[in-house]
Amino acid sequence: MVEYVEKQIKKVDVWKLKTYVCKVKPMDIFTGKNIIVLNKSEAQEHDIYSGYRTEMRHDGRSAVVIVDVSDEIVEPGEVGVFRDLASWHKLKKGDTVEIVHMDRPESIGYIKKKLDKEALRESEIKTIVKEIMQDKLSEIETSAWITGAYINGLSDEEIIALAHATVESGEQLNLGKHPIVDKHCIGGVAGNRTTMVMVPIIAAAGLYMPKTSSRSITSASGTADTMEVLSNVTFSIEELRSIVLKAKGAIVWGGGMKLAPVDDRLIRIRHPLSLDPEGMLLASILGKKKSVGAESIIIDVPVGRGVKVPYVERGNELAKHFIRIGDKMNMKIEALITDGAEPVGNGVGPGLECVDVLEVLQGSGPDDLRHKSLLMAGKLLELSGKVDRGKGYAAAEGIVNSGKAMAKFMEIVELQGGNPKLKVSDIALGSYTHTVTSDAAGSIFHIDNKTMSKIARIAGAPRDKGAGVLIHRVRGDRVDVGDKVFTIFAESEAKLDFALKALKDLEPIEMRKMLLGSVK
């Protein structure tokens, strides 16, 4: 006979098995991430290891954190909390916090699915984005998703789902006005401050253009860095709304508000390895445009040596993809394949680029910047239905020549806290300069975008607004020995010296098969 014996089991609170208490040990280091340090031996007793994610609770607040471990930095019963995390959660030495085990994020399975070449559903992509924003995914896990997208690509449905999830990750600008237009350049061209010329033209024509722009990552200046020479660029979304409703245009830093914040996180992780999956690029750009309510958008696709898209054929494929995705997201898009083989404008660096912009708005300035800005503004006027096809360039040119674009630009500058009476001569440029001259006769064959940006950055740009490079010649120009080629500007003698030393190993300009750029 089999006898069944009922065993008495004591009920246990599962969370107590997964939780232990530590006292805060502040660590005066800023990490920019949610990281804590646990005593290694004690953490292992609780089955917690380096790289694990846990939840840290204190006084009704909680944060998802990544664990590091050490027997030297913290004692048993302590948790090392870095300055940024301690400040955010108002933690001080000796405060008691709970360290709580966390279940594996739902997104991990979806990331593995993408690595296995499977398509993700909209709900799965939204879960990944949500868990990134909740800090439930580590950078390693997020980078695995980016890698999956880079290797296996994203379908149009996945791109659209990611774009919508990107919008939903933050706030949205609701102007309650129409039509709203926008533009974007995929980047890589030094100078190229077309946005600062286009926005006042478009706004003066009566269209709404709430332009959110980026700061520099590897270039000598982003649009936001250049605009910052003239005015403030950091605003809340409500402040942006107020400016645009008054002036119909604005040029602000997108990172200063919570528009599509997940995209900023993804860009930060993609950047070190220069991973830029096409699907994520499209979702990033169009998601941000959707978040400001844009209905008609011009996409600038620079093509040429040294930029992101080296060949026209590849540029055409990317342009068609933008148009196709935009159509599915109810946005009218026109993509322009432009010459990106060399810098646009004379200046590379915030202050020098401002000089170019103001001169173009006054009716002069560099021909290439003027022409490209008028072309793109004209296409946007046509795309929005403001003017008939084929008449956009003339309409944009008329707005500049009449002085309306300059007046509108200064209105925007004033609303963003700048001086509306500022003149070109008021822009402070670095007082330490060196002009590079030609050491051979011939014609300019190539001016390298990356190298010019690198020289400007070594000289101090974009942090030093007056630093940069002023280019005196363009591709095809004839030069003789001793002719000026470019001038380096710096705000300190030391930084100018750094740039000159670096220049000896750089090749910013090619003249046929000979190199220019030797220091004279």
Compute the mean pLDDT over every residue in the chain, rounded to the nearest whole number: 91
Percent of the chain with pLDDT over 70: 95
Helix (H, G, I), strand (E, B) or coil at 447: strand
66 φ/ψ angles, rounded to the nearest 5 degrees: -100, 135
Tokens 């400016």 sit at which residue? Answer: 243
Q: Is 284 exposed, middle or buried (0-12, 13-18, 19+ CB in 10 A)?
A: buried
Given the candidates 3.90.1010.10, 3.40.1030.10, 3.30.70.100, 3.40.50.920, the CATH classification of the domain at 181-260+274-415 is 3.40.1030.10
180 versus 48: the higher-pLDDT residue is: 180
Q: How far is CA 47 from the centre of its chain?
A: 39
Domain boundaries, the chain: 14-101, 107-153, 181-260+274-415, 428-516
pLDDT for position 10: 41
Closest by alpha carbon to 290, among 325, 238, 266? Answer: 325
Tell me which of 105-119, 214-228, 265-279, 452-466 is least confident: 265-279
Does the pLDDT value for residue 3 go beyond 60? no
CA distance 118 to 217: 32
Helices (H), 228-347: 237-247, 261-270, 278-291, 312-328
Report the pLDDT averaged over residues 368-393.
97
The reply to whether 276 belongs to the active site is yes
The pLDDT confidence band at residue 519, using thresholds 50, 70 and 90, is very low
Q: What is the pLDDT of residues 305-317, one digit of tens each?
A: 888 899 999 999 9
Q: Give the end-to-end CA distance of the chain in Å, rounded to a whole number.
A: 105
Report the pLDDT averaged over residues 48-66.
85
In single-letter form, the type of residue at position 511 comes to M
Closest by alpha carbon to 450, among 335, 314, 302, 299? Answer: 302
Name every residue whose Cβ is closer than 8 Å to that of residue 116 and which is 6 or more positions away in sequence.
Answer: none
CA distance 187 to 199: 18
Closest by alpha carbon to 192, among 234, 211, 220? Answer: 220
CA distance 450 to 145: 29
pLDDT for position 61: 84
Cα dist. 382→205, 396, 399 in Å? Answer: 12, 10, 15
CA distance 348 to 219: 9
Q: What is the pLDDT of residues 319-351, one digit of tens each?
A: 999 999 999 999 999 999 999 999 999 999 999
CA distance 231 to 233: 6
pLDDT for position 273: 77
Q: Establish whether domains 181-260+274-415 and 428-516 are of one fold.
A: no
Name every residue whose Cβ is closer than 8 Å to that of residue 469 and which is 6 or more positions away in sequence.
Answer: 220, 347, 348, 349, 352, 452, 455, 456, 459, 486, 487, 488, 489
pLDDT for position 515: 45
Percent of the chain with pLDDT over 90: 71
Closest by alpha carbon to 270, among 366, 145, 106? Answer: 145
Tokens 């709430």 sit at which residue? Answer: 210
Name every residue whose Cβ is closer than 8 Å to that of residue 3 and which is 6 or more positions away in sequence.
Answer: none
Given the residues 84, 135, 264, 276, select the one marked as catalytic. 276
pLDDT for position 431: 97
DSSP letter string over 80-140? EEEHHHHHHTT--TT-EEEEEE-PPPTHHHHHHHHHTTPPPPHHHHHHHHHHHHTT-S-HH
Q: How far is CA 133 from the centre of its chain?
A: 17
CA distance 362 to 406: 7
Closest by alpha carbon to 107, among 138, 128, 135? Answer: 128
The pLDDT confidence band at residue 513, using thresholds 50, 70 and 90, is very low
Fold held by 14-101: Barwin-like endoglucanases (2.40.40)
pLDDT for position 8: 43
In single-letter form, the type of residue at position 311 comes to Y
Dihedral of CA atoms 357, 178, 231, 374 in degrees, nearest 10, equals 0
Strands 19-27 and 78-82: parallel
Sign for the CA dihedral angle at 89, 92, 98, 100 comes to positive
pLDDT for position 14: 37
Q: What is the pLDDT of residues 16-46, one digit of tens each?
A: 446 889 899 999 888 877 889 999 998 888 8
Whole-prediction pTM: 0.87
Fold held by 428-516: Aldehyde Oxidoreductase; domain 3 (3.90.1170)
Three-state DSSP string of 129-143: HHHHHCCCCCHHHHH
Residues in the chain: 520
* 133 within 8 A of 261, measured Cβ to Cβ: yes
CA distance 250 to 223: 12
